[in-house]
Chains A and B, each alone.
Chain A
């Protein structure tokens, strides 16, 4: 009997607690920047696509909802000819972001993606690409990697010596 009354009392006290639920969508909850919602493709600090079409996100994806095709710009820079995410399959696990070696693919705190037509949940590169660096300012893969691209020759990446001339007679 005592425990019954105590339970009733505790529940009664809840009337005076702060409310945990909010009036969504009129009010919106705070979501941390690392929240795993809608996926975007970011650009590097120079405004170029960060994605180098390495296929690591596609292979990491447990539901296989990412498909892309590597292309190559004149000069050797890799980029995705198309990049498609089928959000009707995506489980927002964030493995793709983890796998991405260039910080191109990032999950954002946006989850409001409901559609009446499933086809509208297929996002192509134009839908995914944003014009900023996202969560990782300053990083540019091609400045680190040894592959030469227009504007960054051999020997100009991080920690690189100038190109060696194999025909020189000096040791």
Chain B
């Protein structure tokens, strides 16, 4: 309901129920604040947002109120510009600054500091306080976040985010009054996987980006580009920053339906793989560097006589994959996925397209009032979704507060009213997860039992669902409890995914969501996929790796063109070795080096996500464009350009007539009906604002005439960018670009990341200028599917064998981020996880060396005892050099062996 609010004599229409600060900022006023955050709500701690409230139009005395703590009421009269309010705000800043350490020049926050912005905004300039400043010692907080406690203004945002929002336990506020200290009980790495957000949430320089500090540049000196995180399947929006050809940092880029204000640490600090010193920047032939022309000559010698197939990649853009598909032909294009993974992804697409339950965005997940997680260790496989589910458990709190008439933004009051009340969250996984402490109930089950639980719950909700006939009474009564909680909810959410590698789990999740839909609930599904373009690749369609290997065995194929993919991560080592040994030519296009690349006859250096542009499809089927922040250097070229060049030297078939990315995107959209909307993911290269491109560099980008002066006096022309509407320059459109093209956030008087307020339609709402990205999966309206699949047989432990499932770690399981220096610093060596009782029977103690036989492979590594694991099961950290090449899940033999780990 809209109400009328009069601010400094002007009348505005605002939404009732908001607080005044939210309303004033949404209307575009510059009102200073510190402790308030749109995602955290109001606590009224800093007293900075004072405004004058008047009884009516005739009242001129008025009284000071804190805007963030005062709800909007109809006919309210306020003044922001009132003299008393202004001097109050200036005084508050002056008090906050009494202890500030006079170190802005050596503070990494300088230039994008909310405290600097607010100080300038209130007009406080001169220190009058003559007494001493309190000081603190800093703590070591790990490789991600640097600590400088003297700069603190005690706004409490960090603890409110870290503890209340992200559920961290190892960080708190200590001591009292002017000595409050924000840190850990003792030095050590911040354990929460969202610690990097402290860098953005802190209004000043207490928490700063440590990897950025190693190669520091100010915000105004870094070019930015809108990008999409490549380290999991959720498609969080990020801003990449670069200067002088080096990737400097990655920031959150607001998207109201996906990541909102927050990123996980894997996304924020995983970009280091792009600037490794050992990165290959020249084409290689048998490990010897080649020039581009010589490479193309070699390719011209190889390709015409070759019988190639193309191996695509779920971590390459749709455009790169499509270019490969066009080069080799649709029937010779293989997705580069194991057969099982491809089947799972196709199943997910089928479920989302044809079933009645839609895919949930992360914002939807936050609004779910009952959640069931089937078989996904979310804090490790899809961390940002785990953070969203954390917020979902607060729906109950908001409901209680709503009944008491407490507005949802009044944070402390909502928490006090709700106490420990939480919305239902059920988790069924093999091993313990970091969300367990929020869960109403947890179930520790191997994957087939997880699926059976899903089936049993669906059966309890809808009688037509497949029956679990052989379940124990206890099992069925557990299912009944979950079913009741889900059926009572208005917007239940079912989460499942590919990580346990089980088709039955995904089918059970779909059945369950559909059963809830039949009961009239607005049930939603969140399907977790492993990589940034997994779903896009599955939508594209093609053969799988097993078929590719079979074609080599049959002699129909003698050449692999592998695009941004390490085959050793996708199949058994012996199978890959056997296949690669039979090939005549192995051509690899990638930005990072790996075992497959090491065996390549010709290696073509590809541009990484920060040097190329393309489209990725996230787990809800949303196509999003990522943009380069620096042009490719050396011999590096975008994958699709390498493939186009290969088509040109092949002498048979059509050359690929593409000059810019838009040509590839358009050709892809035309050739593949399922991808026809990818052209709408972002404006094309021809997009202009008032005839101008959008500058990647801020207006105050410095050093233009000196940066290259050590090499040449002739100032180089900025690189051309034919593929995007962005320019590698500080010149161009001065107005705000549409959401999918925002290279950095800045607004007059707002230099910090909080300038995002000025880009939103309403604070915390959608960005101005239309949607970013386009949904590819459209649910058919009359979807009324019959239930899927059949109930799997119960888990039967085997003598002397263990059902080994993949376990995941946020740091270490993902291929690219584990190469990044700050993440490589904290990787742990992988272990075989065993239930303590089983380990005791085998005479295995914690840390003892064990031998694992799985499929045809043997691995030796230390054992760890996980009390949560059910008997007869085990776990192995997936995606590490020690575990790749093993097909998980599977039955493995484990025995103690001699030697030290």
**A residues engaging B (CB < 8 A)?**
52-56, 58-59, 61, 63-70, 72, 78, 82, 84-86, 88-89, 101-102, 118-119, 122, 124, 141, 144-147, 154-155, 157-164, 166-168, 171
Contacts and interface: CB of A to CB of B under 8 A. Distances in A.
Most chain A CB within a 10 A radius of its CB, from B179, B183, B702, B707: B702
A88 B706 CA distance: 10
Contacts of B221: 55, 58-59
Interface of B: 101-107, 110-111, 131-138, 148, 150-151, 174-177, 179, 181, 183, 213-218, 220-221, 244, 700-707, 709-710, 713
A58 B703 contact: yes
Which 7 A-B residue pairings sit nearest by Cβ, starting from the closest?
A146-B101, A67-B703, A54-B105, A166-B181, A67-B706, A58-B702, A64-B704
A66 B702 contact: yes
A164 B217 contact: no
Given A54-B106, A66-B702, A67-B706, A154 B183 contact: no
A146 B706 contact: no
Contact of A157 (B101, B151, B175, B704): B101
Contacts of A124: 710
30 contacts: A54-B106, A58-B702, A59-B221, A59-B702, A63-B705, A65-B705, A67-B703, A69-B215, A69-B217, A78-B105, A78-B106, A84-B709, A86-B705, A86-B706, A86-B709, A89-B705, A101-B105, A102-B105, A122-B706, A122-B710, A144-B102, A146-B101, A146-B102, A146-B103, A147-B148, A154-B135, A161-B133, A164-B134, A166-B136, A168-B175
Given A86-B709, A154-B136, A163-B135, 6 more contacts: A53-B216, A66-B703, A78-B105, A146-B151, A147-B106, A159-B132
Nearest to A146: B101
Given A122-B713, A164-B175, A64 B105 contact: no
Given A63-B705, A166-B181, A154 B103 contact: no
Contact of B217 (A55, A141, A155, A159): A55
Nearest to A141: B105
Q: Which of A52, A86, A88, A146 has the most CB of B within 10 A?
A: A146
A163 to B, nearest CB: 5
A47 to B, nearest CB: 19
**Interface-centre pick from B137, B179, B214, B706 (highest chain A CB count, 10 A):** B706
A47 B24 CA distance: 51
Contacts of B707: 67
B709 A162 contact: no
Nearest to A60: B702
A49 to B, nearest CB: 13
A166 B175 contact: yes
A124 B710 CA distance: 8
A84 B708 CA distance: 10
Contacts of A161: 132-135
Contacts of A162: 135
Contact of A166 (B107, B132, B183, B702): B183
Given A61-B702, A146-B135, A161-B133, A171 B177 contact: yes
A145 B706 contact: no
A65 B175 contact: no
A67 B702 contact: yes
B175 A84 contact: no
A164 B136 contact: yes
B102 A89 contact: no
Contacts of B704: 64
Nearest to B177: A171
